[in-house]
Amino acid sequence: MTTSNLRTPLYTTHVSLGARIVPFGGWDMPVQYSGILGEVAAVRTATGLFDVSHMGRLYISGPRATEFLDWVLTGSVESLRVGRARYCMICNEKGGVIDDTIFYRLAEDRYLLIPNAGNRATVVAWFQRWLDDKFPIGCVIEDRTEATALLALQGPAAAEAMDRLCSEPPSSMRPFSWQENQLQGTPVLLGRTGYTGEDGFEIVADADQAASLWQTLTEHGAKPCGLGARDVLRLEAGLPLHGHEIDENTTPIEAGLERFVRFDKEYVGSDVLRSQHENGVARKLIGLKMPGRSAPRAEYAILNQGQPVGRVTSGSYSPTLDTSIAMGYVDASRAEAGTMLEVDIRGRTAQVEVTPLPFYTRPRR
Amino acid sequence: MSPDDRKYSKEHEWVKMEDGNQALAGITVYAQDQLGDIVYVDLPKTGATIRFMEKMGEVESVKAVSDLFSPITGEVTEVNERLLDHPELVNEDPLGEGWMMRVTVSDAAELDQLMSAEEYEAFLSGLS
């Protein structure tokens, strides 16, 4: 088979572990190793390790970097302290979501931004357009995606494992902070971030260190996990996936992501977002629960007494909750928690209940 | 690796003749491996008529839904009720404990249109 897909520095590791490889966002990625159910359980009860090197690493720096990012991101950049990270959206002029991203403030005038794999080129082009337009000097983008690797160590035992392996114990790091550290001698940037609803770390390192880091972490108990488990975990945690819950034709307000949107600054899309915030939206993202194991899937119609009121964006059996769960958009009038609706499951109508997000919250220790 | 006590379809179902005109049916090792962890199996009810190579049910894994096609025409006399609570049996033992249903076969000549174990193995090696 010929392919033009990119491969992460861990591709041969995945193949040697017997992973099933699928195309995702322009990359050949492992969708599962031993099985999705076991991989989800590892992350919820111990530790799982993900290769997420397909996601972008964009370094944005210069004296106008803060001002630039405050123009293209929905979250406040200027108020973020060095050492901290923040989740927010990149919107177009209509308030539609070009991508969602975590960005780390590395220094007063230097940031690391993580776009989704399939949106990296779009984000770079979008940023470059605004740099040319409004910030012709004083800010540059460096794309170090292919020179680096990104691993995610996730689960309740992640901090303990990292304390054993790092020169500075990272268990004291606050959520959404980052630090430079050494993982068994390898220089890494650690973020106390993730996409699973569990505690954990995201680890940036040079590409040529990826295989040895992977080996070290799995030898210390982390179970290799693929994108299939990651998708179930993020759905249980009520986290949106670009291309499903959010895209260029949906806004963060419709998606219930107001808390990642500032209304007190001017930026691309801010007029629309402020207006929606004040006047309301016609449709809203909701959670749906359905008893049993047969799941509503993406694109299935959501009905109210037989009449279409919306569409499923993601759905799966939830092994953690042992029920079927989904997210989708419905008319705002049908979005209240407790509302009973139906989903058309391949011609069979099934009752579903509108449920607050997230479906799963990790237990406090 | 496919046992030669049964016949196989291109849709990766198997059918095994028992005493008289009774047959047992299920999906193959390859099919369950492709599906991944199976969480739900939707089978016809006892007494239902199933038809050769027509849809007879669905199997859901965490990631996907797949149609099940009947490898034989006949009347369903028993379904594997254990799969309701333990669909993982299909992954663990698809040719044994993970069987799906027992059928009274109405036209045994249909079996000639299915593949032998050897033919099925050759068919599989052509897929990869």
Q: What digits encode the pLDDT tens for the residues A344-363?
A: 999 999 999 999 999 999 99
The answer on A47 and A154 residing in a single domain is yes
The answer on A47 and A170 residing in a single domain is yes
CA nearest to A21 within chain B: B34
The answer on A104 and A183 residing in a single domain is no
Q: Which domain holds residue B44?
A: 7-106
Angle at B58 between CA B55 and CA B63, to 5 degrees: 135
The answer on A347 and A295 residing in a single domain is yes
Cβ pair A37:B65 closer than 8 A: no
Site of tokens 């770390």: A201
Closest CA of chain B from A229, distance in Å: 9
User: Are the C-beta atoms of A250 and A241 separated by less than 8 Å?
Assistant: no
**Residue where one domain finishes, among candidates A112, A140, A168:** A140
Question: Is residue B124 one of the residues assigned to a domain?
Answer: no
Residue type, A135: F
User: Are the C-beta atoms of A198 and A362 separated by less than 8 Å?
Assistant: yes
Q: What is the pLDDT of residue A365?
A: 65
Nearest to B60 among A20, A35, A295 (CB): A295
Name chain A contacts of B36, Cβ cutoff 8 Å.
Answer: 20, 32, 35-36, 228
Question: Would you place residue A3 in the very low, low, confident or very high pLDDT band (cuts 50, 70, 90)?
Answer: low
Question: Is residue B114 one of the residues assigned to a domain?
Answer: no
Question: Is residue B62 one of the residues assigned to a domain?
Answer: yes
Q: Which domain holds residue A220?
A: 6-53+146-236
User: Are the C-beta atoms of A54 and A117 separated by less than 8 Å?
Assistant: yes
Picking from B30, B32, B37 by the largest number of A CB atoms within 10 A of its own CB, the best residue to mutate is B37
**Residue where one domain finishes, among candidates A140, A156, A172:** A140
Interatomic CA distance for residues A357 and B54, integer angstroms:
40
Question: Is residue A72 one of the residues assigned to a domain?
Answer: yes
**Residue where one domain finishes, among candidates A140, A158, A188:** A140
Report the number of distinct structural domains present in chain B. 1
Name chain A contacts of B62, Cβ cutoff 8 Å.
Answer: 36-37, 228, 232, 316-317, 319
Question: Would you place residue B63 in the very low, low, confident or very high pLDDT band (cuts 50, 70, 90)?
Answer: confident
Looking at the predicted structure, is the pLDDT value of residue B101 above 60? Answer: yes
Report the number of distinct structural domains present in chain A. 3
Question: Is residue A303 one of the residues assigned to a domain?
Answer: yes
Q: Tell me the percentage of chain B whose pLDDT exceeds 90.
A: 94
Question: Is residue B118 one of the residues assigned to a domain?
Answer: no
Interatomic CA distance for residues B107 and B112, integer angstroms:
10
CA nearest to B66 within chain A: A346
Cβ pair B39:A297 closer than 8 A: no
Picking from A21, A24, A33, A36 by the largest number of B CB atoms within 10 A of its own CB, the best residue to mutate is A36
> Tell me: the pLDDT tens digits for A103-146?
999 999 999 999 999 999 999 999 999 999 999 999 999 999 99
Q: What is the mean pLDDT of residues B21-45?
A: 96
